[in-house]
Structure 1
């Protein structure tokens, strides 16, 4: 049996993964469920955990910050993430495994089977630590991310990031404005997506706005700095972010011309 914990800030993700494991993986014993890295650290301190199903984008500390604690406790990690296969191709050889949300049952079974064999082999600790460190480094290279999964209440919507025009904050929610004129509201704060999305393409221009520079039509300073997007939306740039925004536009222009 593999003593396992689930770490995810989304209730739907936690409960659905718990159900899938209980129904399909007889060698899994779920020792605990955490909705934050802090809670996961407590579980690792008080239990001998073999396997961690770990989300990446969570409030406060992200999933990467649990990796040193996993290493210290000789626990192995399977990431449950919104990153697409293209983004993870480069790190596939280093990861114990990953699962793209929404989680496929067959992929889950294969991941657990592989984890069981890997743990049974009792790899040397320095090899295990090296794999986890390489995984953290590669996953932090955000420029390769092309898709994200957005929880929509009943499941997830898989969105190509190039289809995101801008993201608007509404209290503790984020509203995605898409190229097909659809909007998706997600119960996560804007900062989480600021950390996930490639920062050469997506810029936080206001405490309540992130824009995709692919859709930037013009910007001016008639009434303070304001951007006009290709869909006609006009969004203010805060004073303290104006200088950084201008630099990002210059860098983005160079980046595109170098392609």
Structure 2
């Protein structure tokens, strides 16, 4: 592992000291250049040091963690968010394929996140722009608090930022997920379907089978002649499993009532 210069940004003294201790004990390649208890202190550290990695708390008094994002982008520093559990914030972070650690921080998860950051700095610097777009989109999602509108998909050695309204359905293929888009393009991602089931808004997307998630916007019709089958607007037909049929009916009923 290469040596990475890092800073810790957190307003809680215990959180700062415990993370510092965990990094010292378990991540010998991390060189802590400074510890900040506010965004203003973190900005000074970024100005005066060559920083590769930022462990960034989200909820802080005054400026929250997202206000540091422009400086992080300018420094080409990888951000690992450290946060107490917040369902919406966590969903938004996952949707943008960004790294996070839940407090209290687990040692194995910390080591894995650091290894991922190390790999990014070795091989993926060319994709800094796409990572920065994901950071900006995350900030917008959390600021607007209106739901997730875009999702970041790892694609080859880079990332694709996709509007969720462009997704017709997602198909499972072993440990991979295949996204079928309005453009007829297909994007294969090395994550299981359940990961996206947890991220995508459940008022628009529904798991209809162990191998399928559909966007209700693109359901053209459905019938029960030979088991429940959906006809999508792109011409594809997908079977709904028996045990998921009631969930589909509930969601399509609500969706048709609330959508113009």
Task: Give the shorter-chain TM-score range.
Answer: 0.5 to 0.7
> 2:239, 2:61 → 1: CA distance?
41
The aligned runs of 1:32-181 (5 Å cut-off) are 77=56, 95-97=64-66, 105-106=73-74, 108-109=76-77, 132-133=83-84, 136-139=86-89, 144-181=147-184
Contiguous gaps of at least 5 residues in structure 1: 1-17, 30-39, 52-74, 80-90, 116-130
> 1:249, 1:184 → 2: CA distance?
26
Asked whether the equivalents of residues 77 and 96 of structure 1 are also in contact (C-alpha less than 8 Å), the reply is: yes
Partner of 1:231, secondary structure, is coil
> 1:193, 1:179 → 2: CA distance?
18
**Per-residue CA distance 1:138-190 (angstroms, 9 max, x = gap):** 42577610111111112011100100000000000000000000000000000
> 2:211, 2:237 → 1: CA distance?
13
Cα–Cα, structure 1 residues 93 and 208, in superposed 2: closer, same or farther, change >3 Å?
farther
> 2:61, 2:237 → 1: CA distance?
41
Q: Please give the TM-score of this superposition, normalised by the length of structure 2.
A: 0.54
**Per-residue CA distance 1:62-101 (angstroms, 9 max, x = gap):** xxxxxxxxxxxxx96458xxxxxxxxxxx9977423899x
How many residue pairs match? The answer is: 170
Partner of 2:259, secondary structure, is helix
Q: Please give the TM-score of this superposition, normalised by the length of structure 1.
A: 0.54
**Per-residue CA distance 1:223-258 (angstroms, 9 max, x = gap):** 10000000000000000000110000011112214x
Residue of 192, 211, 217 corresponding to 1:189: 192
Q: Does 1:253 align with 2:236?
A: no
Cα–Cα, structure 1 residues 99 and 216, in superposed 2: closer, same or farther, change >3 Å?
farther
Q: Does 1:235 align with 2:258?
A: no
**Per-residue CA distance 1:207-238 (angstroms, 9 max, x = gap):** 00000001010011111000000000000000
Asked whether the equivalents of residues 150 and 158 of structure 1 are also in contact (C-alpha less than 8 Å), the reply is: yes
Deviates more, 1:149-158 or 1:175-184: 149-158
Asked whether the equivalents of residues 98 and 111 of structure 1 are also in contact (C-alpha less than 8 Å), the reply is: no
Asked whether the equivalents of residues 150 and 162 of structure 2 are also in contact (C-alpha less than 8 Å), the reply is: yes
> 1:93, 1:199 → 2: CA distance?
33
Deviation, 1:110, is 10
Per the alignment, residue 208 of structure 2 pairs with: 205
Partner of 1:144, secondary structure, is coil
What do you get for the CA RMSD once the two structures are aligned? 4.2
Partner of 1:184, secondary structure, is strand
